Amino acid sequence: MKNICGKVIENVGLHARPASVAVTEASKYDSNITLQYMGRMANMKSIIQVMKLSVPANGEIEIQCEGEDEERAVAGIAEILEKKHIIQRTKKEV
């Protein structure tokens, strides 16, 4: 399992457009990918589940990738979310 920890820096939080960016990227991989916020979890391949978490700006999140392509998944998700200024990693993936 590989993890990404970060803070949401998008001013609207992880809602609508930023959530769709995250879900679109996560859906490219076969691994199970979950998003955690304040003890709650969502399937990161589901826009409804991600938006239901209601992650605000400055919310601390963890993304977990588990599966045969977890290395590529964690790298791809981190890259796009940072490139689009949606999250800022608080520590390197483990």
Tens digits of residue pLDDT in 37-86: 999 999 999 999 999 999 999 999 999 999 999 999 999 999 999 999 99
* Predicted pLDDT at 64: 97
Q: Quote the pLDDT of residue 2.
A: 96
For 26-77, the DSSP string reads HTT-SSEEEEEETTEEEETT-HHHHHHT-PPTT-EEEEEEESTTHHHHHHHH
pLDDT at 80: 97
First to last CA, the chain: 8
> Which residue numbers are catalytic?
15
Amino acid at 2: K
Confidence of residue 92 (pLDDT cuts 50, 70, 90): low
What pLDDT, on a 0 to 100 scale, did the predictor assign at position 91?
A: 72
Domains in the chain (CATH in brackets) are 2-91 (3.30.1340.10)
